[in-house]
Amino acid sequence: MKRLILFELRKVFARRLSVITLAGVLLFSALLSFSTYQNKYAFDGVSAEGTGKRAVEIDKDIAARYAGLLTDEKVQQMMEDFAPSHDLNGLNAVYLYENATQSAVFSRFSDQDGNWNGLTVSDVFGEEEIKIGYVDGWLSTSRNLVRVFLALALAVIILLASIFSGEYEGLDNLLLASRYGRTKCATAKVAAGILTALLTTAVVAAFSLLLALAFYGREGLDCSILFAPNDYVEAFIPFNITCGTLIQYQILLAFTCTLSMTGITLFLSAVSKNQIVALVASAAIFLFPILLPVTEKSPLFRLVGLLPIYHVLAVSLLSVEQMGNGMLYAIWAVPATLLFLGAGAGITCRAFARHQVS
């Protein structure tokens, strides 16, 4: 059986389309990370200003001044340090951006003119203890991972769409007539499909995280996502989790997504006589849920959100609920994945075994 699985794995990764697809996902991740890094901008309000690496350094230096638990005293100090020194010309100071820390404090504690709006930390965040620091880099990484893992899910579909349907172009007669064609062969293909999803997800996730570490370092992983510039995910994930926890959930959901789509794609590959049909059907099933008029606030989203595409669109699923044990509702993606994968694998083996050869 081990040899059969290795043989099927080699078939998957030996195809030119597979190599191009995986290389494309990794290149996309690299370009997205580099572009985001180069487009960073920061100004300390006095003299230091820059983009790219220099902007990250400035943001880190500023964040280090106020690092630790967010207090009313720190808010007052930040409001004083970042008070506008020029006429805003009608611009609402809430949306003013000079650096990540300034944007975070102004978006919550500033009035239209850049003065303190009278709110305290407890008014904004309740009784939560908010640890602040340099979170801009890792929140940018989180936003990029959504796009990278979406491309990864489509790549897994491309890799697996032909694993069964590709045999129906003549080889099915030989395979199904062999001694173990209807049993071990199908099992080996399913195992190879699962390993393909695990390996590709691990490689892409590791590659993306290594890029993030190289660009931003480990700073901010233990800080809350709630105190961040106003265009980040904290507006949609209203729970006091750290950047590190957010990234961990996203990686977990990347695995659950690709494994769920593995079960679906294997099934469609087994029942489709044509590779293109299996590919298009799998991609359609994956993408269709985002067309449904179901918002995150709808009770129905608790079920719709467990469909594979919402695993990679992590912000939507992570914003649903925080349970009593501190875990987010998104953890239910794990049993949902086991259902998709188990049912898909079981039906796939049976469908391939019952395939009639000509």
Q: What is the tens place of the pLDDT at every residue in 79-137?
A: 998 988 777 777 888 888 899 999 999 999 998 888 899 999 999 998 889 999 999 99
Q: Residue 298 contacts by C-beta under 8 Å, 6 or more apart in sequence?
A: none
Residue 265, token pair as written in the block: 């794609």
Q: How many angstroms separate the CA atoms of 268 and 164, rounded?
A: 9
- Residues 24 and 97 both lie in one domain: no
* Number of separate domains in the chain: 2
Query: Hey, CA dihedral for 335, 336, 341, 347, is it positive or negative?
Result: positive
- Residues 184 and 290 both lie in one domain: yes
- Residues 114 and 161 both lie in one domain: no
Among 68-72, 83-87, 236-240, which range has the highest average pLDDT? 68-72
- Residues 182 and 300 both lie in one domain: yes
Please report which confidence band the pLDDT of residue 203 belongs to, taking 50, 70 and 90 as the band edges. very high
- Residues 173 and 101 both lie in one domain: no
- Residues 223 and 336 both lie in one domain: yes
Please report which confidence band the pLDDT of residue 233 belongs to, taking 50, 70 and 90 as the band edges. low
From the list 177, 157, 194, 180, the residue with the least C-alpha distance to 268 is 157
73: number of Cβ within 10 Å? 9
Which domain does 240 fall in, by range? 2-36+136-353
**Is there a domain that residue 84 lies in?**
yes
What pLDDT is stored for residue 235 in this prediction? 61
Among 11-15, 31-35, 98-102, 348-352, which range has the highest average pLDDT? 31-35
Boundary residue ending a domain (115, 130, 145)? 130
Angle at 240 between CA 238 and CA 241, to 5 degrees: 110
Boundary residue ending a domain (100, 130, 160)? 130
**Percentage of the chain modeled with pLDDT above 90:** 56
For the entire predicted model, the pTM comes to 0.90
219: number of Cβ within 10 Å? 20
